[in-house]
Amino acid sequence: MAIATWKRYALFQVPGWAVAALVLLGLTEWIRLPLWAASGLFTVWVLKDIALYPLVRTAYESDVKTGVEQLVGKKGLAQERLDPRGMVRVRGELWQAEAEPRDQPIEPNSEIRVTGAHNLTLIVSREAT
């Protein structure tokens, strides 16, 4: 079961909130900071974390695609004949690719679509024109 992104973010903030609370409580003793001021500063600290959440949310998402996973669904161009393996260009980069279905070769300069990946080899099919 995956934890919701906002819950994951909140859990990462709890230690910071605890340290801030302890420091502010210490300041109420050491420099006689009024309790209302310490409470206000703590509230500002928590509100700052809430305000920053939309900016850092993607860093806490667990379903972020990286590497070849982010190429699935993208279009490209066959650089050579894929029978069933060859090179394709996707988003300006050359990749080793394998045609799917394997018994249908893809000719050079044909448009392809990435349907999957195995290690660093893209699985591609001919794009319907």
Rounded distance between C-alpha atoms, residue 82 and residue 61, angstroms: 36
Residues 125, 100 contacting (CB under 8 angstroms): yes
Q: Which residue has the tokens 């591609």?
A: 124
Fold (topology level) of 67-126: OB fold (Dihydrolipoamide Acetyltransferase, E2P) (2.40.50)
Model pLDDT, residue 46 = 97
Boundaries of every domain in the chain: 5-60, 67-126
Model pLDDT, residue 64 = 64
Angle at CA 52, nearest 5°, toward 3 and 48?
110
Global pTM? 0.54
* Selection from 63, 48, 121 nearest residue 87 by Cα: 121
Model pLDDT, residue 2 = 67
pLDDT string in tens for the chain (129-residue length) = 568 889 999 999 999 999 999 999 999 999 999 999 999 999 999 999 999 999 999 888 777 676 788 899 999 999 999 999 999 999 999 999 999 998 899 999 999 999 999 888 999 999 886
Which pair of tokens denotes residue 47?
């509100």
Stretch (H or E) spanning 29: helix 5-30
CA 101 to chain centre: 30
